[in-house]
Structure 1
Amino acid sequence: MNDNRLGTAVSPYLRLHADNPVDWREWGPAAFAEARERDVPVLVSVGYATCHWCHVMARESFSDPEIGELLRRDFVAVKVDREERPDVDASLMASASAFTQQLGWPLTAFTTPEGRVFFAGTYYPPTQVGQVGSFRQVLAAVLDAWQERRHEVDANAGAIATAIRQGAEADAAARGGGTGDGVGPRLPSVDAIRAVTAQLVSAEDTTYGGFGGAPKFPSAPLLEFLADVGADGDEIAGALRDRSLRAIRSTELTDADGGVFRYATKRDWSVPHYERMLYDNAGLLAIAGAEQARGIADFLRDTLRRPDGAFVAAQDSESTIDGRRVEGDWYRLPLDERARFAPPPLDDQVLTGWNGLAIRGLALAGARHRDDEMIALARGAADAVLAAHVQDGHVTVRSSTAHGTSSAPPTIEDVGLLAEGLLELALVTGEVRYAVTARSLVDDGLAGSFAVDPVLHAAGTATGEQPQTALRSGTVALASAAATTAALTGDGALRTAAASMVADRARTGTERPLGHADALGVALALQRSSREVVVVSPDPDDPMRAVAHGARRPGTVVASVTPPQARAWADAGFSLFAGRDGAAPAAYVCHDHVCALPAHTGDELADQLR
C-alpha cells in the first residue's frame, strides 16, 4: 500500500513527488524514529522544483513501482527541498564531500537512523553508465553494507559526523571574533584584498569572458567584489567586471526577455542550463549596467513577481511543447512565438532571504540608473514580505506558497539578506520604517538565536551556513547590514561585530576567493574609514542626489531624505540625521559622524567628495 506523505507539503518540490510510488516522508524526527523502529537505513533525496536532473531521476527511478517497492521494504525514504531547508542541504553536502567532489542536485544520501551519512552521491541513472552504477545497484550495495558490515557503516558515519562537528566548532570560534591575543578580529589588509584581483585576472577566460571552463556560471558575488575593488580605485578590477558582465549579457546565458539562466554548459556561454533563479538575477542587478539591469528587472517584474509584489524562487528549465516534456525548447523560441505554448512552470516559493537579495539589487540599480520603477518593485517586494514573513520586527517565516507557510525555521540567510535589502531601500527612498525593521533584524542576527534542526542537532552534523559561489552569504549580508547600521547610529560595537563575522571568511578569501568574494567586499569596506553622505532635499530630482549616489564605494553610506524624513530618522535613533532637517536643500559629507560644512549644489558636493 502506497504511503506517500507529500501531498500536503508546502514545498512545490515535495508536491512534485506526491504521486510517486515511493513512501516519501518529509524531513523530521518522525521519519528517523521510523527508521530506528524498523532498523533500516534512510534514503534522503535532496533537490528543488526547477532542477532538471531532479526531474530526470524522478521520471527514471522514483516513478518506477519496483523501485518504490524496494524503498518501501528496505529503507525509509525522505524528500528534502534544498531551498526550503538550506540547513539540511548544507549538512548533507558536507557529508557527501567525503565521497565525491562532483556535488550538486539531486543529492542522494544514505544515513543511519540517527541521521548520520554513511554514503552519498548525486544523480544515479536507471542503468549502469560507464563506472557509474545504476540506482538499483546503489540501493543493493548500500543495503548489503547495512546488513552485512554494520560496523563499517557505523564507523564511517561516526567519522564523517566528527569531522563536520569539528569544522562547525572551528567556524563558530572564528566568528566569535578576536585572534586569541585580545586584539580583536583580524581583517585582511587592503593590499591583500586588492591583490586578489591578480588571481582573478589569471583565471579569466580571455577568449569568451568569465572565469574557468565549462560549466560556466555568472558568479554574481565574485563580480560584485570586482565592482567594489574597481570603485575603490582599481581600474583593472573594474574592467574585468565589465568584460564578464558583457559576456553574460551578449551570449546565450541571457534570455531574450532579459532574464539570466543559472549557468552555461559550454565554455563559450552556449547551451544554457535553462532554469532561472531569483538569486542569480538579483545578485547581478546590484552591479549591472543600465541596459542589462533593465532587462533583469523586466524579467523579475513579468515572470517571477506575484500579484502581492513578492518574488517567487525560480522558473523551470522544462516545459511542455507539443505534448512532450522537454528542456529548453520554450526558451529557444522567438519571443513572439512563446505565447503559443504554456511557459515553463514556476517554483512558487516566496523565500525571505532571496526576496531580501532582490530588494537590495533593485534598490541599488534603481538609485544608480535613476529608475523609479525598479525602486517601486523593491518597495512592493519589501512590503509583501514584511506583511507575510515578519512580525514585530522579527523574521518568523522562511518560506511560503499558496499552499501555506512552511514549518522550516528562518535562517541567517533570511535575516541577513532581508536586513541588508531593507537598509538599501530605506537609504534610497528615505523611508525610515524599513531601517527600523532592519535594525531589529540585525539585533536578532547578532544574538544568534537560530533554531537548530533537531535531527542535525542529535546527529552532531549541523554545519551552520556554508560559503557559496552563486548566492550572497547571509552571514556576510548581516555583517554588511551591521556596518551600515553603525554608520547611521554611531554605534561602534556594531562595526566591530561586523568585522568579527567576516574576518575569517575574508582571510580565507584572499587565497581562495571563489565562495568568499562577498566577505572580501565587506572586509574592504570595513578597512576603510566610515564615510557618510546625506542629502536632505524636498526635490527628488535635486542634482545633489545623483552626485551622492555616484559616490558609493566600499566604506561609504549614502542616504537621500526630505526634511521631514530626516526628522523621522533622527527621532527613530539614527543620530546621523540629527539636526539635518533645515528648510534649505543641503548635503553633508561626514567621516564617523564628523561632518564638513554643508554643500548646497551638486558642484559643491562633488568638490567635497573629491
Structure 2
Amino acid sequence: MNPRLAESTSPYLRAHAGNPVSWFPWGEEAFAEARARDVPVMVSIGYSTCHWCHVMARESFDDPAAASEVNAGFVAVKVDREEHPEVDAAYMAAAGAFTANLGWPLTVFATPEGRPFFAGTYFPPQPRGGMPAFRQVLAAVREAWEERRDQIDGTADAVVSALAEVRAGGGAASALPSIEQLADAARVLASREDREFGGFGGADPSAPKFPVATALRFLQARAVREAAAEASAVADRALAAMAASPLRDDVEGGFFRYATRRDWSVPHYERMLTDNAQLLEVALDAGDDETARGVAGFLLDVLQQSSGGFGAAQDSESWIDGARSEGGYYARDAAARGDLEPPAVDGKVVTGWNGLAIGALARAGARLGEPRWIEAAQWAAGAVLETNVTADGRLVRASLDEIPSRASATLADYGQLAGGLVRLALATGDVAYAVRARELVAACVAPDGSLTVPGGGDPVLAAQGVGAPDAASDGDEPSGPAALADAALSLWMLGAGDAWREAAERVVGTYASAALGQPLAYGALLRTAAALVVAPRQVVVVSEEASGPLATAARGIPADVVAVVAPAQADAFASAGFSLFEGKVAQGGVATAYDCRDFACRLPVTDPADLSG
C-alpha cells in the first residue's frame, strides 16, 4: 500500500494506493525526485467517478509489468482533477498541442522542471483503433528522453511559451452588453436546439449530449424571458425533455452526467454535484416542482455526507454479482436496488461545488416551502466554513472526512461559495452568511479592480511557470470570474454599495466580446450580464412569522431578491451595511412587505393580495 496516496484527502488517489505504480501526489516532491533521477514525469489526471479512468487503472496501472516500466523510467504523479482544477486546466491546455481528443484520463509527460512535452488520454494495454498501447507509449517516450533530449526540450519550451501567450492575451474591458445584444446571443444559443429531442445538439444520433446547465440558466434570465421569449422557452423544453428521459434517475431523482445518444438515452451514469445543483435551479425557474423535488432529494439522501458537506459525485460503476457493472444499479427499480450495494459516492467536499448546492437548496427550499432543504444548506455551509478554511481565513479547495486538502482554492471556489451564502442569508434571514460572502468576494478583488486568487493559486505551477489559461468560459460549472461577478452583483442588490456592482461590471466587460460570440461557453457570465441590464426587483417581508400568508406570497414572486426577515434580523442586515433593509419594520406589529422595483420602492403592504407578481 502506497502511504503517499493512502493518506490523501482524495478518494481518487486513495483508490490508486494499492497500484504497483509508485505514485506521488501532486507536489514539488515528485519533481525533485525526477530531477535527482534525471527522468521525465508522467502526470496522470482523472477523478473518482470517471469510467475510463477506472478502465485504464485496471488494465495498466494494476499490471505489474506496466507498473515496472513506469517505475523504472519515470516519476509517476496521480492528480485528482477535482481537487486540483488549476493543474488539470494547465495540463489540459498543454495536451491540446498533441491531441484533439481531450478528456480523462489525461496522461501528460513533462520534464523534471514541469514543462509538458507529450500528452494523450486513455491508452489501452494493446494497440487498438489506431491508438498505441500504453507500454508502447512508455517505451517511445523513454527512448526520446534518452536519445533526443534536445527535441524534447524544444517541444517543452514551445508549449510553455504558447501557454504564456494565451495567459497574457486576456481580453480588454469593453462596454457592457446591451439588452439587444443579449437577446441576440440567446437567439444564437436557441438556434442550436435539437428540435426533436430538446437540448443542444445536431442530427448525429450517436453524439454525446450534455445538459449545459450554465447555458440553460442564461436563457432563463429575466431579461432574456422579456426580450427573447422564444429563445427562453428552449430552456424549459430542454428541462422537460431531460426530466422525462433516461438521463434522469426516476428512482432517486438525480440527473446523470450526460447521454451518449441524441435522444438522451444510454447515459454516462455518474451523477455530479455540479450538474444537479444547477439543474435544481433550472427546474425551479421552469416551474417544474416535481423535478426540483427529485433533485433535492438526491442531493440530501445520496450526496450529503455525515459532516454536512455534499460529496462530489456518485460513481457510474458498482458491484453486482461479484463483477463491476457500469449502470447496472441504475437499471433496477426501487425494490431491486434495495438488495444491491449502491455505487460509491466520492465524499470529497469541494468548496465551490458546495456553494452551488447551498444556494440552490436555500432558494428552492424557500420557494417551495421545504425547511429541510434550507437546514441541509445551513449544515453544508457550516461544514465548509469550519473545515475548508485555513487558520488565516483563506479557503482550501476541498476536504475529506473533515480533513482539509492541501490544494489551494480557486476563484470559482470563492465566487461559488459566496453566491451560495448570499442566497442562504436570504432564505434564513441570517446576515452572518451575507457578511462572510462579502469577505470572500473582497478577498478576490485587487486594489486595481482585477481578480486575484488569495494565496496565489497552485504554488508548484507558479514556480514552474506553467499556468492555466485565464478564461471566464464555463465547463460544467460557472467559471471563477463569472461566479464572482454573480456574487458581487448579489451583494449590491442587498444594498452593500455601488462598488460591488462596479466589480461585476468590470468582470462582465472584460469578457463580454468573447461571451457574445460564444454564448454556449459563457452562460454563467451572460446570466450576470442579463441581470445588469434590467432594474432589479427586491422584495423584503418583515414579520415575526416566517411562514405566514404574506411571506408565502412573497416567496412565490420571481424577484431578484426575496427576503423574509424578523424585525431584529432586518436591523442586523442594516447595521452590517446592507442598506436594502434600512427602515424596514413590521408596521403596527403586523407582517409588512416592501416591494422595490425599477429603482423605486412602492408603499409597504400588509395584505398578500396587494403583492402582484
TM-score, length of structure 2 as denominator length: 0.93
In the aligned structure 1, how far is the partner of 2:280 from the partner of 2:127? 43
The one-letter code sitting in structure 2 at the alignment partner of 1:219 is: V
How has the CA–CA distance of structure 1 residues 368 and 235 changed in structure 2, closer, same or farther, with 3 Å as cutoff? Answer: farther
Structure 2: runs of 5+ lacking an equivalent: 447-451
Question: Does the 8 Å contact 2:47/2:82 carry over to 1?
Answer: yes
Name the % identity.
50
Q: 1:460 aligns with which of 455, 461, 465?
A: 465
Shift of 1:568: 1.2
Q: CA RMSD in A?
A: 2.0
Which residue does 1:487 correspond to in 2?
493
How has the CA–CA distance of structure 1 residues 286 and 450 changed in structure 2, closer, same or farther, with 3 Å as cutoff? Answer: farther
**Aligned positions, number:** 594
Q: 1:255 aligns with which of 249, 260, 271?
A: 249
Q: Secondary structure at the match of 2:109?
A: strand
1:40-95 per-position Cα deviation (integer Å, ceiling 9, x unaligned): 11100000111110000000000111111111111110000001101100101111
Q: Secondary structure at the match of 2:89?
A: helix
Question: Does the 8 Å contact 1:465/1:475 carry over to 2?
Answer: no
Alignment map for 1:268-347 (pairs within 5 Å): 268-288=263-283, 289-347=288-346
Shift of 1:591: 5.4
1:296-318 per-position Cα deviation (integer Å, ceiling 9, x unaligned): 11111111111232111111111
Which residue does 1:520 correspond to in 2?
526
Segment drifting more, 387-396 vs 47-56: 387-396
Q: Secondary structure at the match of 2:519?
A: coil
Alignment map for 1:50-61 (pairs within 5 Å): 50-61=49-60
The one-letter code sitting in structure 2 at the alignment partner of 1:269 is: W
The one-letter code sitting in structure 2 at the alignment partner of 1:207 is: E
In the aligned structure 2, how far is the partner of 1:345 from the partner of 1:332? 16
Which residue does 1:222 correspond to in 2?
215
Question: Does the 8 Å contact 1:490/1:592 carry over to 2?
Answer: no
The one-letter code sitting in structure 1 at the alignment partner of 2:271 is: R
1:194 aligns with 2:200: no
The one-letter code sitting in structure 1 at the alignment partner of 2:414 is: V
1:421 aligns with 2:425: no
Q: Secondary structure at the match of 1:195?
A: helix
Question: Does the 8 Å contact 2:198/2:241 carry over to 1?
Answer: yes
How has the CA–CA distance of structure 1 residues 410 and 490 changed in structure 2, closer, same or farther, with 3 Å as cutoff? Answer: closer
How has the CA–CA distance of structure 1 residues 391 and 437 changed in structure 2, closer, same or farther, with 3 Å as cutoff? Answer: farther
1:446-466 per-position Cα deviation (integer Å, ceiling 9, x unaligned): 242243323211222212664
TM-score, length of structure 1 as denominator length: 0.93
1:237 aligns with 2:242: no
Segment drifting more, 311-320 vs 141-150: 141-150
Shift of 1:4: 6.8
Alignment map for 1:167-182 (pairs within 5 Å): 167-171=166-170, 174=172, 179=173
Question: Does the 8 Å contact 1:544/1:601 carry over to 2?
Answer: yes
Question: Does the 8 Å contact 2:496/2:577 carry over to 1?
Answer: no
Q: Deviating runs (4+, > 6 A) in structure 1?
A: none
1:163-217 per-position Cα deviation (integer Å, ceiling 9, x unaligned): 211222233x64xxxx4xxxxx522221111112222222111111111152111
How has the CA–CA distance of structure 1 residues 488 and 393 changed in structure 2, closer, same or farther, with 3 Å as cutoff? Answer: farther
The one-letter code sitting in structure 1 at the alignment partner of 2:388 is: H
Alignment map for 1:6-85 (pairs within 5 Å): 6-85=5-84
Segment drifting more, 389-398 vs 237-246: 389-398
Question: Does the 8 Å contact 2:303/2:311 carry over to 1?
Answer: yes
1:164 aligns with 2:163: yes
The one-letter code sitting in structure 1 at the alignment partner of 2:200 is: F
Shift of 1:276: 0.7
Q: 1:568 aligns with which of 569, 572, 577?
A: 572
Structure 1: runs of 5+ lacking an equivalent: 180-184
Which residue does 1:361 correspond to in 2?
360
Question: Does the 8 Å contact 1:318/1:326 carry over to 2?
Answer: yes
How has the CA–CA distance of structure 1 residues 595 and 231 changed in structure 2, closer, same or farther, with 3 Å as cutoff? Answer: same
Question: Does the 8 Å contact 1:84/1:398 carry over to 2?
Answer: yes
Shift of 1:576: 1.6
Question: Does the 8 Å contact 2:278/2:360 carry over to 1?
Answer: yes
Which residue does 1:600 correspond to in 2?
606
Which residue does 2:449 correspond to in 1?
none
Q: 2:259 aligns with which of 252, 258, 264?
A: 264
Shift of 1:125: 0.7
In the aligned structure 1, how far is the partner of 2:390 from the partner of 2:26? 26
In the aligned structure 2, how far is the partner of 1:599 from the partner of 1:68? 72
In the aligned structure 1, how far is the partner of 2:390 from the partner of 2:541? 31
Shift of 1:283: 0.7
How has the CA–CA distance of structure 1 residues 3 and 327 changed in structure 2, closer, same or farther, with 3 Å as cutoff? Answer: closer
Shift of 1:129: 1.1
In the aligned structure 1, how far is the partner of 2:302 from the partner of 2:25? 29
In the aligned structure 2, how far is the partner of 1:383 from the partner of 1:592? 35
Which residue does 2:561 correspond to in 1?
557
Q: Secondary structure at the match of 1:67?
A: helix
In the aligned structure 2, how far is the partner of 1:4 from the partner of 1:308? 25
The one-letter code sitting in structure 1 at the alignment partner of 2:247 is: L
How has the CA–CA distance of structure 1 residues 3 and 318 changed in structure 2, closer, same or farther, with 3 Å as cutoff? Answer: closer
Which residue does 2:504 correspond to in 1?
498
Which residue does 2:88 correspond to in 1?
89
